[in-house]
Chains A and B, each alone.
Chain A
Amino acid sequence: MTTSISFKIGGSPLFSSWLFSHLLFPSKELIYQRRRLLRSALLIALVMIPLVLALIFMDGMMQGITDKYILLQDGHLQFYNLDELDDPLVQSSDLVTSGYGIIYSRDKSAEVKLKGVKEDYFNSQRCAELKIKEFKAESTGSVAQIMVSETLLKELNVEVGERVAFILIPEGEQKGVRPMLAQVAATYNTGYYELDSSLIFLNYEVAKRYLPNGGRSYLEVLVDNRGSGHLDELGERLAKGGSWASWDQFNRTVYQNFVTSRQVILLVFILILVVAGVYVASVSNELIQDSFQAIALFKALGAQQKSIRRSYFWAVMVVTILGIALGLVVALVLGHYLSPILVWLSKQGFEGLRYYLLDFKVVVAYTDLLFIVGSMVIIASVTVMFTLKRIKEISPLEVLQQD
């Protein structure tokens, strides 16, 4: 007795590819099937778009805010030992002095930080973060000339050239406060309300004269990209035992709120992906149901379950991945127009947008996008695998049944 049947393990890849291509590209007459595939891909794309845009917005805005705080308010690092720094990672080092106080006009008052800077402080990097308008106001004697944000001027109801007064926090052993007068000689606008509403610039020498005890002086240091990820190490190294601080120590609260918002968006994303994953499973189930008799026939003709499952799995996953890719591409393209649109909306009077930085560069967190895409693919795969179990239950005998 000879064994006449050869046992070849593994399904035929050619049959799988053939079936897969028929599922993915149904013939022209199969309008419903084509529409179903297109609808699935478009729906997934549609869901991806606003979520990716929200991420781009949060990331761009957070990066923009961080840049503004670093470049204009605190620098990457502050060193209280005023010796010159010589390090390849240090991009710029500026001697500044600062003090805190309350600015007041006829009607209003506000808490502010006064920052005395030298002429070369506003380098090209910093100038990119704000718009400065200087005015040739008539000098009023020994009164200090200051640069105030347009936002703060509006709140104080003060015009350029007018005087304002300060009371400043005493420094060192000085007791009591004394008012200081100043004249608004220039205005600036960073586009970010939180920063604009509390920061005032003046000349370094003038600040040393007027701020109590000359203010608090320090070296404000900007580092290049290589150093920005290792600020703590760099700070320790450059301080050489002296005291120093990094920017995030000053701005934790502002930053934290946005980090939380971003996390919420990611959480929402995951929830929506779970719902989308179930939708993908229903598409898969539909595909299988439509091919019930065909699957029974393939089995009757000797096709292995593995080959059939593989074809259906990849047909559904390819549609899903195409939808994700389409959504990502459209979102990334639209993302470049997000900032101008938001700026326009803000000008139409959407007051709530004041809390956000609207003029930002597009920042794409590829890691997060990869995580989201990966999550979607995994969720869809898992849900589709469940529906593919149905294929196992289809008996070749059912090819003889009519339904």
Chain B
Amino acid sequence: MVTPKIAYRYAFSKSNRHRSASLIIVFGLAIGMMALITLLALMNSLQSDLLDQVKSIESFHLQLSVTSNENIGEITQKIALLEGVAGVYPHVNTQVMVGSLRNGESSTGRLRVVDETIWLEENPFMDHLFLVDGHPPKGEEEVALSSTMAYKLGTRVGDELQITILVPGRTAPLAPVNFSFRVSGLFTTSLSEFNESTLITSSQPLLERIGLQRIAFGLYLEGRAINNSKGVIADLKELFPQGEVKSWQQLNSAFYSALTLEKAMMYLFLSFMFLILGVNMKSAASRLLFVKQRELAILRAVGAPKKSSLKIFILQSLLITSLGLALGVASGVLLSTHIGRVFSFFNRVQYLFTRRNNPLLTYPFTITIVPLEIAIVALVILLLSLLFTYFGCRSLLKREPMELLNHE
């Protein structure tokens, strides 16, 4: 019981002249952890929001392209039975020309022909897409339009559109063909590119004109398979050896690669924070040992074994680091959870001077705190601190007590 008492006293006792060193280390660690956690939470939020939407709306979790004699319904059923698969939606994306028959406005766009069950079931698509007017398209002659595109075309629910698609021609490789649709509904998402130019329909005749061979099967996964789709991919390859399976990362490879690059850059910045914290801890550990050399010498001189002296300093280091980390984690989680309010306040201050909103400060963060990340960071810092103390102590303990005293 003496060891913890001495360790605590060395760390925090008011009568200890070097208490300020301990307090500064605690404070430094707390600030460092708070900054690390906030940065990690922001990074995760910015990236996961975007990735979530890309996965859910743009490209599904997996896509399978297959040439098979079976019909689409049979293929869909087979895939739906696989473990980890939550939903299967055969679809085609194609470039189109859209013209409003009411006012003559035209634009290019991207048409997605997808089974209408996608609107009726619970899935990531419906989690991230919001119908602002009307209803989902049903049957052969209805189409849902993104709200931005509707604005561009000056179109409302109920208006007629002419959609021109390119299909294999008799004499030309591709030839334009027109279809008429009625706007059944307007939707919006948080993906600006999707919003700007997408139309969605489930028209079977259209699908047949485009070509059934162009159909891809979009899969939504569930449970662990969402983050680890290897099992599902293996199953698909077994089921359709000639098929081609692509993950959402592969389908958006450049975009994903860019996000990975940005994440790498953020981790680089994080590592600099780590570096500063690490150097701080190293010099703090040396400091705490240096100022207690005399005590260490006296303890040795009165017969304390090396082991118990080492224990005292390791425990001291543990106390100080743990307190700093605990404070840091608590304040980091608190700040991250309320970061929206903090940013909102700063945005209001900025608005006072510039009369403009700040894009970052008004970004709708949905903070993602990953406990594992925080735990790893905290553990690493704790280990580093103990290691620095251990090695520092070891070199001091190699010296004789009188040597330490004479150093004074």
When A and B assemble into the complex, do they touch directly, with CB atoms less than 8 Å apart? Answer: yes
* A403–B46 alpha-carbon span in the complex (Å): 52
A255 to chain B, nearest CB (A): 10
CA distance A271 to B336 in the complex (A): 13
Q: Is B18 an interface residue (CB 8 A)?
A: yes
Q: How many residues of B contact A (CB 8 A)?
A: 70
Interface centre among B28, B35, B259, B272 (most CB of A within 10 A): B272
Kindly identify, within residues 351 to 386 of chain A, every residue whose CB is under 8 Å from any CB belonging to chain B. 351-356
Which residues B268-290 have CB closer than 8 A to chain A?
268-269, 272-273, 275-277, 279-280, 283-284, 287
A276 within 8 A of B: yes
Shortest Cβ distance from A63 into chain B, in angstroms?
18
Tell me which of B18, B25, B31, B164 contacts A167 (CB under 8 A): B164
A169 and B108 contact, CB distance less than 8 A: yes
Chain A residues within 8 Å of B94, by CB: 109
Interface pair A402/B408, CB less than 8 Å apart? yes
Closest partner residue, chain A, to B17 (CB atom): A403
Is A50 part of the contact surface with B, judged by Cβ < 8 Å? Answer: yes
Tell me which residues from 224 to 279 in chain B have a Cβ below 8 Å from any Cβ of chain A.
253-262, 265-266, 268-269, 272-273, 275-277, 279
Q: For the complex formed, measure the closest distance between the CB of B359 and the CB atoms of chain A, giving whole angstroms.
A: 5
A278/B31 in contact, CB under 8 A: yes
**Interface digits, A270-308 against B, CB 8 Å rule (1 contact, 0 not)?**
011011101101110110010010000000000000000
Which residue of chain B has its CB nearest to the CB of A261? B262
Which of chain B's residues has its CB closest to A47's CB? B272
CB contacts under 8 Å to A, within B194-223, are: 196-197
Q: Which of B20, B178, B276, B291 contacts A276 (CB 8 A)?
A: B276
For residue A102, which residues in chain B have a CB less than 8 angstroms away from its CB?
95-97, 108, 166
The answer to whether B359 touches A352 (Cβ under 8 A) is no
In the complex, the answer to whether A39 meets B279 with C-beta atoms within 8 Å is: yes
Interchain CA distance A172-B105 in the complex, whole Å? 8
Q: Is the CB of B360 within 8 A of A260?
A: yes
Binary interface encoding of chain B residues 154-166 relative to chain A, with 1 for a CB under 8 A from any of its CBs, else 0: 0000000010101
Q: In this assembly, does B107 line the interface, its C-beta being within 8 Å of a C-beta of chain A? A: yes
Binds B, one of A124-132, A140-148, A174-182: A174-182
| With A282-B284, A285-B21 as contacts: A111 and B276 at CB distance below 8 Å | no
CB neighbours (8 Å) of A351 from chain B are 253-254, 257
A403 to B16, CA, bound (A): 12
Instruction: Tell me, rounded to whole Å, the shortest Cβ–Cβ distance linking A37 to chain B.
Output: 12
Binds A, one of B54-62, B169-177, B372-380: B169-177
A264 touches B166 (CB 8 A): no
Q: Is the CB of B32 within 8 A of A278?
A: yes
23 A-B pairs in the complex with CB atoms less than 8 angstroms apart:
A50-B268, A102-B108, A104-B95, A109-B94, A165-B172, A167-B166, A169-B99, A176-B162, A177-B99, A179-B175, A179-B176, A268-B269, A271-B39, A274-B35, A275-B28, A275-B32, A282-B25, A282-B28, A282-B283, A286-B287, A289-B291, A353-B261, A387-B24
Q: Identify 19 new A-B residue pairs, CB closer than 8 A, beyond the known A278-B32, A351-B254.
A: A39-B279, A43-B279, A50-B268, A51-B269, A102-B108, A102-B166, A106-B173, A111-B108, A165-B172, A260-B363, A261-B262, A263-B361, A271-B273, A272-B272, A275-B31, A281-B24, A285-B20, A285-B21, A390-B20
